[in-house]
């Protein structure tokens, strides 16, 4: 049986280990100790050398405890948090919500997922529940743009399918689709001049940028696609016509081709506006991560829904507008759905999770292992 008190205490322990993104060394070391104690073989990969983070990803493997041919299963959560995440002091109120008593985030995103997985492993061992090989992949740098997962050697993942525990929503609900994301840098090169003496001789990069933005369709493009200008830099003094401006932007869509179309439209707006004003523009874009999309007909979704139904919790599916490590593992060719963990108000100092949702998350992943043990092959 799930031990509520043990689970909650472990969750509280984990969130008190400072682990803002790029500062994952302490949490990686503690997680490694715990995983080894639970019987896993643990590898820390070499991704830190590429990402500049303080630790790499942890790839932990637990061998099967049966001779049956059971599909290999993996779960993933991330060890890092957003800011402010230093000095978290978890407390539980009378209603059962766990929050931080200090002016910080809680870190349920994603240490609730890690705690649920650790409790699952303890229950499997205590009850001698039959299972095939299980990998737990705990990534660094998820909060800095999926840096850890993006830098991982895909050959280290030895699984037929798996689940990320890294979505908001009631435990039992499943994120079955997430967008492709592109990052964009736009530069405008104008011509400087004295703003009070001869402004007509200058070409304001700021003005050109503003006109270009006004010609772009931004925000909600359609029900599957969004775009946003997030950062604007340019200018040094009010008496100088600005000759350089830089914009940072993004585009996302659940349909990859729509991202391509949106990028082309934004690029055309920039280039045409620059031509109109006699400026020069430079447009650079890169796909940060690819999207994924499942339906209720896909085996990875059906198995999780069966597990949720047996627990009597909701098993609705939904599409999310945000990315997660599930995007990367799907790009490796490993079907990966993203399970809701039950945390609320993430990335804010109001972040919280109800103890019952934490317990349900541990029950759900345990039931997923049970369901997997009934399979002899992966579809």
Question: For residue 351, what is the domain's CATH number?
Answer: 3.40.630.10
My answer on whether 61 and 191 are in the same domain is no
- Is residue 322 located within the same domain as residue 266? no
Q: What is the pLDDT of residues 18-76, one digit of tens each?
A: 999 999 999 999 999 999 999 999 999 999 999 999 999 999 999 999 999 999 999 99
DSSP element (H, E) containing 301: helix 299-311
Q: What is the mean pLDDT of the chain?
A: 97
Determine the Cα–Cα distance for residues 186 and 184; give it in Å rounded to an integer. 7
**Total count of domains within the chain:** 2
Tokens of 362: 């541990």
Q: Is 256 annotated as a binding residue?
A: no
Would you say residue 141 has pLDDT above 90?
Answer: yes
Residues 6 or more apart in contact with residue 118 via CB below 8 angstroms: 10, 34, 38
**Where does the pLDDT of residue 275 fall: very low under 50, low under 70, confident under 90, or very high at 90 and above?**
very high
Rounded-to-integer distance, Cα 247 and Cα 268, Å: 15
Residue 35 counted as domain residue: yes
Domain boundary among 260, 289, 318: 289
pLDDT in tens, 64-97: 999 999 999 999 999 999 999 999 999 999 999 9
Judge whether 308 lies within some domain: yes
The verdict on residue 379 lying in a domain is no
pTM, rounded to two decimals: 0.94
155 in the same domain as 23? yes
Determine the average pLDDT of the residues in 323-340: 97
Q: Which of 152, 82, 109, 146 is nearest to 11 (CA)?
A: 109
- Model confidence pLDDT, tens digit, residues 291-310: 999 999 999 999 999 999 99
Task: Residue 187: give its domain's CATH number.
Answer: 3.30.70.360
On whether residue 378 sits in a domain, the answer given is no
Q: Sign of the C-alpha dihedral, residues 292, 298, 299, 301?
A: positive
Per cent of the chain over pLDDT 70 is 100
C-alpha to C-alpha distance for 63 and 20, rounded to whole angstroms: 31
> Which domain covers residue 346, as residue numbers?
4-178+291-372
197 and 94 together in one domain: no
Note the pLDDT tens digit of each residue in 170-210.
999 999 999 999 999 999 999 999 999 999 999 999 999 99
How many CB atoms are located within 10 Å of the residue 287 CB? 15
Report whether 246 contacts 187 (CB < 8 A).
yes
Q: Which of 287, 276, 257 lies closest to 182 in space, CA to CA?
A: 287
Q: Which of 10, 20, 80, 325 is catalytic?
A: 80
Q: What is the pLDDT of residue 12?
A: 98
Q: Does residue 308 share a domain with residue 257?
A: no
Is 163 within a domain?
Answer: yes
The answer to whether residues 52 and 119 belong to one domain is yes
- Tokens, residue 258: 């729509």
Say whether pLDDT at 151 is over 90: yes
Compute and round to an integer the Cα radius of gyration of the chain.
24
* Shared-domain flag, residues 361 and 225: no
In a domain, 363, yes or no: yes
Judge whether 377 lies within some domain: no
143 shares a domain with 110? yes
Q: 379 falls in which pLDDT band (50, 70, 90)?
A: confident
275 and 310 inside one domain: no
d(CA 340, CA 182): 25
Residue among 44, 45, 110, 142 flagged as catalytic: 142
Residue-wise DSSP of 72-117: -EEEEEE--B-SS-SS--EEE-TTSEEEESSSS---HHHHHHHHHH
Mean pLDDT over 309-332 rounds to 96
201 annotated active-site: no
pLDDT at 350: 98
- Catalytic-residue membership of 142: yes
State which of 289, 312, 334 marks the end of a domain. Answer: 289
> Strand ranges (DSSP E) for 161-297?
161-167, 174-178, 180-189, 219-222, 225-234, 244-253, 280-289, 292-293
Domain termination residue (choose one: 246, 262, 289): 289
Calculate the CA 88 to chain-centre distance.
21
Q: The dihedral of CA 267, 268, 270, 275: what is its sign?
A: positive
Q: What percent of the chain has pLDDT over 90?
A: 99
Assigned domain for 361 exists: yes
Specify whether 303 is located in the same domain as 262.
Answer: no
Q: Residue 269 and residue 90: Cα distance in Å, rounded?
A: 49
Nearest to 106 by CA among 342, 351, 343: 351
Same-domain status, 190 and 318? no
- For residues 190 and 312, state if they share a domain: no
């Amino acid at each position: 049986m799930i031990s509520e008190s043990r689970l909650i205490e472990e969750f509280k322990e984990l969130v008190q280990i400072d682990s803002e993104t790029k500062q994952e060394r302490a949490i990686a070391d503690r997680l490694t100790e715990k995983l080894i104690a639970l019987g896993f073989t643990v590898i820390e990969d070499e991704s830190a050398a590429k990402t500049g983070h303080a630790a790499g990803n942890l790839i932990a493997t637990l061998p099967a405890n049966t001779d049956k041919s059971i599909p290999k299963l993996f779960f993933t959560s991330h060890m890092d948090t957003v800011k402010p995440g230093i000095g978290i002091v978890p407390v539980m109120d009378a209603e059962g919500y766990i929050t931080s008593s200090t002016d910080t985030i809680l870190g349920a995103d994603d240490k609730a997922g890690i705690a649920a997985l650790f409790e699952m492993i303890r229950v499997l061992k205590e009850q001698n529940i039959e299972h095939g090989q299980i990998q737990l992949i705990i990534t660094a740098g998820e909060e800095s743009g999926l840096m850890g997962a993006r830098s991982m050697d895909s050959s280290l993942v030895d699984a037929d399918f798996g689940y990320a525990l890294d979505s908001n929503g009631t435990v039992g609900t499943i994120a079955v689709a997430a967008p492709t994301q592109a990052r964009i840098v736009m530069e405008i090169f104008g011509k400087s001049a004295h703003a009070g003496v001869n402004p007509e001789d200058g070409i304001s990069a700021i003005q050109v940028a503003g006109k270009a933005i006004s010609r772009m369709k931004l925000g909600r493009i359609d029900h599957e696609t969004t775009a946003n200008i997030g950062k604007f830099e340019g200018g040094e003094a009010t008496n100088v016509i600005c000759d350089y401006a830089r914009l940072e932007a993004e585009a996302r869509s659940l349909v990859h081709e729509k991202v391509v179309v949106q990028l082309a439209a934004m690029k055309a707006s920039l280039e045409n506006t620059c031509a109109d004003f006699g400026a020069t523009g430079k447009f650079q874009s890169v796909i940060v991560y690819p999207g994924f999309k499942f339906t209720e007909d896909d085996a990875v979704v059906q198995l999780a829904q069966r597990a949720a139904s047996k627990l009597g919790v909701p098993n609705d599916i939904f599409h999310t507008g945000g990315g997660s490590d599930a995007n990367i593992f799907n790009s490796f060719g490993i079907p990966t759905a993203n399970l809701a963990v039950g945390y609320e108000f993430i990335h804010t100092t109001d972040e919280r999770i109800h103890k019952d949702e934490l317990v349900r998350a541990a029950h759900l992943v345990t039931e997923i292992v049970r369901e997997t043990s009934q399979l002899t092959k992966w579809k």
